[in-house]
Structures are given as structure tokens and as C-alpha cells.
Chains A and B, each alone.
Chain A
Amino acid sequence: MPGPVVILENVDMIFGEGASDQVHALKEIDLRIEQNEFISLIGPSGCGKSTLLRVVGDLVQPTSGVAAINGKSARQARLDQDYGIVFQAATLYDWRTVAKNVQLPLELMQFSRSEKESRTQAMLELVELSDFAGHYPWQLSGGMQQRVAIARALSFEPSILLMDEPFGALDEMTRERLNLELLNIWRKTDTTVLFVTHSITEAVFLSTRVIVMSARPGRITADIAIDLPQPRNAETRSNVRFFELETTVREALRVSEAGDQPERKAA
């Protein structure tokens, strides 16, 4: 059995260290993620969820501590193209068509022409956008753009999918549909997912584990295993256990925010 996909040990992230406006974004973060887990990060705004994701993805370097990804440094993992990233904004390139946007990582990773085309086609089918291959991003709705971003992130089969509130800007209906789509994709591949969200329901529905964080400084305050049966579907939402777990997460969030108070006063 391979080792954990993500190991964070004693990670601290301080922005503007020493300056009067320094921000202690992450404090003493310890986290292990095994292959094929679906982890949600949840916590109050500004608690460091995005920062944690960015540390894992080597988009920022932690002030101290160790980040090991697939048994390598985060940097090496990035150079090995282990990450697929989806942000809250789709971040498509305006000058590329839908198909060309999905192909972007494939171009950079020197996939053969036929491979590029077959993968792009397969990905667009997966997110049900085959008919829009030739469209430009501005011709798509927000939900469609986000699906393109997901297709782009998955096209090269990254071992880790980092998603920062990918459905945050979408309406409830679209979000639920994309949740199911994402779970489908996740089941079909051995991707490990690290997913930031503000929605308790979404976190419980999708995840195998929910990590709760508190703010100032950002810390992990709870690690809740979600033992709902797989595969998750519409019935999952009416499962009694689903509500219990929602309550557990909500309680953990409340405690984490309450625990936040003295810290803030002290600061």
C-alpha cells in the first residue's frame, strides 16, 4: 500500500512576517491524506483554507514545516504535474475555445496530438459540454465555465485535485448537479481530492473526511470522518446519518469560531 498522498507536518504560514500587519494564516497544521480520499476543508472566512490548499499545491511556500506530496516535496510534485487545480472563478483563457482550454495542460505536458484530441473529447463528454467545444468562454454560463475548468483539471489525470470553492458562485441546482458529477469522476479515477467549501451540506455530501478550521491563526480544530455509504446519491441527502453528520460539523464550526474569540482579543 502506498504511503499518504499528502503529509503536512507542523506547517506554519505567516504573511508579512515581522511587519505590523503580519497575518498568521496557518498554525501548526498537521494533516495526512490517503490516496482516493475526498477531503473537505471548512471554516470561517479568512481562516486559511485557500492558503492551506496553496501550500499543498506549492503556490506558496510555508514559513515553516514540511509538506510532502506523493513522497516528494510539494515543489517536485508540482514539477511532476501531480496537481489539478480548480478555483472559484473558472479562470479560463478568453482567447481559447472550450476545447482549447481543456487542452492547455495537455499542450504543456507534450501529449501527442491524437492523445490530446481524444482526451479533450472524453473530458468534454464527461462534463457534458461536447456541443460547446468550439465556443469561447464568454459564450458559456458560469456553471458551464466551471465544468470546463473541471474538465481542464482532470484532462491529464492528476493524482491530486485541489478545488477552492469551485461551486461557490453557482446556484443551488447547478451546484448539486455538479456535486454528483464530481463524485462520479472521483469514483472512476484514483484521484485524491482536497476541496474547500463554505457549505456544510456540500462538505458532508461529498467527503470521506471533513476538516474543520478556525481563524486567526488558522488551525485544524476537528477532523470528522464521514461514514455515509458510497456511492453517494440523491438518497444520501435524506439519510438520517447525513443530518447527524451535518450537525456534528456545524457544532464543530461553532466551537471553532467560539474558540476564536479569546485569540482575537489577545491579538
Chain B
Amino acid sequence: MSEPRQRFWAPAVILVVLVVLWESLVTAFNIQQFLLPKPSAIAGNLVQVAALDASVSGEGEDISLENRFFTVLPADLSPEMQASLQEAQWLAFSLGGRTFLLLRGNNLTPILAASWFTLKEALGGMAMGTVAGIAVAIAAARWTATREALLPFAIAANSMPIIAFAPIMNNWFGLDNPFSKMAIVTIMIFFPIMINTVRGLVSVDARSLELMRSYAASDSEILVKLRIPNALPSLFSGLKVAGALAMIGAIVGEYFGGPRIALGVFITQEAALFRFASAWAAILVACLIGIAIYLVILLAERLALPWHPTFRA
């Protein structure tokens, strides 16, 4: 069946078409870069391509690549220029008689460093929120009274814009303390994880429960052998929601202030300095990280639930 291939190709083609359309519309209408930078300008902050062309002569002058995605360079570059290209170069390849250099973009290093910092906050918050959510869910599933008292609050809290607490968390734990962002992420993630897990733990088939009773299984055996496996699929749906929220929580938390190394701070500063392409590049990396988190959760789900209907070929 060509279906999995098609599932990959269709979005890939749409993505390429959108990017090309974006690039050509911005060029055609001469849109100001602070409104909408070209995709190539955004990409140029991360990756650059230089083509060495023997027919162009630069007479050894100093040429700046700036943040352009694609630049044609004369072959007779100054030694300083060659050294700096060498330093930024990932790989060189020949195509149609020309030599192309794939170079590290000027902002790649700061953006990656900031992303790593923010990712750690997101993952830390996610770990804490998940552990807390599961623990409370198990308690809530075990004690009906707890559940009935807690669940309305959880559902109400889940529909609240918890991110609005970000300035308060910043205040509590300190702007530069990564824990302030982790706290926001923890709270944001706690509710979807907990609600989904409770749902899975409680919505156990009545016959399955009777079966356990007929074997004289204890409550903890029922929890381990029936309720928890039964809750895994909905826990994973909770995790997928949480994965998306985690990066949002950390970055938006940083918008309200944080160390210079943080991604959210980087984005706000670049925007304030009118370096929009660079801000967009950072946002792009944040999006890619979000997608990566989602894919990791998807993979974990596949490994943990080989029996689940969604994976029945």
C-alpha cells in the first residue's frame, strides 16, 4: 500500500508550495520585513548556502554574507574570508561545476543555546506536571470522595488561561530562576494529565472489574493489572496535549522576563531590535522542538501500547 508514503508526501508538497508562495508574495508586494520576513531570510539566520563562482571576481575585497540564505561569492576570496567560511562550514559539495558551501547561520548558535535552555525548562516542568498529575489521578481514582471533590476544580482549572499566572511565578521564584518557568509548565500540564488519567483509571469495563473481583484481587492488584493499563491510552492523549503546552508555557513565561539565554527572551529582544527574521528563526526552532516532542511521545506510545486499536495495521 502506498498510504504511508502518501501520508508523508502530501503534507511535504503542501509545505513546499506554501513556503514558495510566501517567498514570492513577500517579494512581489515588497512587504516590509518587520511585517513579514521572507522564509529565505528566516532560514538564513540558521543556515546559509554560499556558491563559489570562478567567473565572478571580488578582487579580494571583504564580502559580508549578512543573514542571506544564498550568496554567490567570488572564487578568489581574501584569506580572512576563507578562514571565516572554513570555520562556519558544515560541508562542501559540487553541483554543475560550481562549489557550494553549506554554512552555519550567524544566529544558529545563540538560538540553539537558547532553545536548549528553554527545552530544559519545558521538559523539567513536563516531568513534574506528569508525575504530579498521575499521582493525584491515582489518589482520585482510589478515593471516590477525593475525586468528586477535586474533579470540578480540575475541569474548571483546565479551561483557565493558566499562562496568566506567569508573571506571578516569575515573581515567586525569581525571573532568572528556571524554576519559575518550570512551575508554570508544571501547572499548565498538571490538569490535562490528571483529568485524562483519572478518566482512564475510572472508565474500566464493568465486566473486567467483576472478573477481578471473582479472582479475589485486591484494590492494588486491580490498580496495577487493570486500571493503569486501561488508563495508558488516555494518559498518552494527555501527554500529547501536555507536550504542546510545555514549550508554549516556557516561552511565554520567558516573554515576561528571564535570563538573556532563554528563547522567549531572545525572541522579544530580537523583535525589539527590529531583527525580525532572527526572531522568526527562533520561533521556527521552537516549532520544530514542539513537533519533536510530539513525535517522541507518539513513538513512546507506539512502544508502550502495541495492542492499541490506533496501531492495528
Contact = CB atoms under 8 A, between A and B. Distances in A.
Interface in B282-313: 305-309, 312
A154 to B, nearest CB: 13
A93 interface: yes
Contact of A95 (B210, B213, B214, B305): B305
A81 B213 contact: no
Interface string B208-229: 1011111111000100011001
A93 B208 contact: yes
Given A93-B226, A136-B307, A59 B208 contact: no
Contacts, number: 55
A104 B312 contact: no
Given A95-B232, A108-B225, A85 B210 contact: yes
B225 A104 contact: yes
B152 to A, nearest CB: 27
A87 B226 CA distance: 17
A95 B229 CA distance: 7
Interface of A: 54, 57-59, 78-81, 83-85, 87, 89, 91, 93-96, 104-105, 107-109, 136-138, 162
A138 B309 contact: yes
Interface string B97-116: 00000000000000000000
A188 B216 CA distance: 26
Given A104-B225, A138-B309, A91 B214 contact: no
A63 B214 CA distance: 20
A3 B225 CA distance: 36
Contacts of A85: 210-211, 214
Given A78-B216, A79-B216, A136-B307, A91 B211 contact: yes
A185 B141 CA distance: 39
A54 B211 CA distance: 11
A109 B214 CA distance: 12
B59 interface: no
A77 B309 CA distance: 37
B5 interface: no
B213 A78 contact: yes
B207 interface: yes
Contacts of A84: 214
B307 A109 contact: no
Given A91-B207, A93-B229, A78 B307 contact: no
Contacts of A89: 207
Contacts of A138: 307, 309, 312
A107 B225 contact: yes
Contacts of A57: 214
A109 B215 CA distance: 8
Nearest to A162: B214
A136 B208 CA distance: 16
A83 B215 CA distance: 8
Given A105-B215, A108-B215, A138-B309, A59 B229 contact: no
A80 B211 CA distance: 14
Contacts of B232: 95
A59 B214 contact: yes
A84 B211 CA distance: 9
A5 B114 CA distance: 73
Contacts of A93: 208, 225-226, 229
